[in-house]
Amino acid sequence: MHTTPTKHRGILSDFSDFVRRMGIRTTIGYLVELYIGWVIRGLPGPEGFLLRGWLYRLLMKHVASHPLIYPNCHIIFSHGISLGKRVAINVGSYLDGRGGIEIGDGSMIGPNCILSSCEHGFTSIEIPMYKQPVTLKKIVIQEDVWIGGNVCIKSGVTIGKGSIVGAGSVVTKDIPPYTIVAGVPAKPIRDRRTGEAFPRQ
């Protein structure tokens, strides 16, 4: 009698759990974005921009106008992502929309950024972290924000209108409008409206 190897049973069980949690429609969308996204992710030139924009206009929650999604961006759970007008997402960035991501008009995401609206649970030391419940919290990036390269944005964060996040920063708290921040964790450096520097924290 043929039996499924234990390793394969584990993979099938994990996938069945995923389908139960996410639902059939979300699972189909996830598979579509994985496989079609893989095909067009690295395409250069105008055709790459057009195909990526077309795909994510179909899959995302809301897209106000054709987005500029550069090659090798990895976007998952795009059904939870909303983009305003003239949003640019640069090369190699990773977006996980499970908890929701909103990016406002004219905002720019630099290369190799991470926007993850989902975090692993770790409160119990008795249960492996991969088995603990995940936490979903929306990331909101308001209008005319510039996110520098290699920035990591934690779930639940709101970045105010007109703000700038310096390259390599880790954003763990909300950022007021028109504020320049940088560092690990990111801290206010300057107010764009007044040009005044913030006291060092």
Q: Does domain 6-191 have CATH number 1.10.357.10?
A: no
Instruction: Report how far residue 81's alpha carbon sits from residue 148's, in angstroms, rounded to the nearest whole number.
Output: 20
Mean per-residue pLDDT, 63-81: 95
Distance, in Å, from the CA atom of 161 to the CA atom of 145, rounded to the nearest integer, reads: 6
Query: For residue 54, what are its two tokens?
Result: 């077309």
User: Percent of the chain scored above 70 by pLDDT?
Assistant: 90
189/16 Cα distance (integer angstroms): 47
pLDDT of residue 1: 46
Q: For residue 7, give the H/E element and its range.
A: helix 6-22
Question: Exposed/middle/buried for 153, CB within 10 Å: 0-12, 13-18, 19+?
Answer: buried
pTM of the model: 0.86
Contact 94, 74 (CB under 8 A): yes
Which of 196 and 103 is assigned the larger pLDDT?
103
Burial group, residue 184, by CB count within 10 angstroms (0-12, 13-18, 19+)? exposed
Pair 114, 153: CB distance under 8 Å: yes
Quote the pLDDT of residue 7: 52
CB 185 within 8 A of CB 173: yes
112-121 tens-digit pLDDT: 999 999 998 8
Strands of 158-159's sheet, edge to edge?
Answer: 62-63, 81-83, 101-103, 139-141, 158-159
pLDDT tens, 21-31?
Answer: 667 777 777 78
- What are the tens digits of pLDDT across the range 135-158? 999 999 999 999 999 999 999 999
CA distance 149 to 29: 29
45-59 helix and 24-40 helix, angle to the nearest 10 degrees: 180
pLDDT class of 15 with cuts at 50, 70, 90? low
- Give the pLDDT mean for 119-137: 90
In the predicted model, is pLDDT for residue 85 greater than 80?
yes
Specify the amino acid at residue 71: P
Distance of CA 191 to the CA centre of its chain: 26
CB neighbourhood size of 12 (10 A): 11
How large is the average pLDDT for residues 170-183? 97
So what's the pLDDT on residue 64? 95
- Residues with active-site annotation: 120
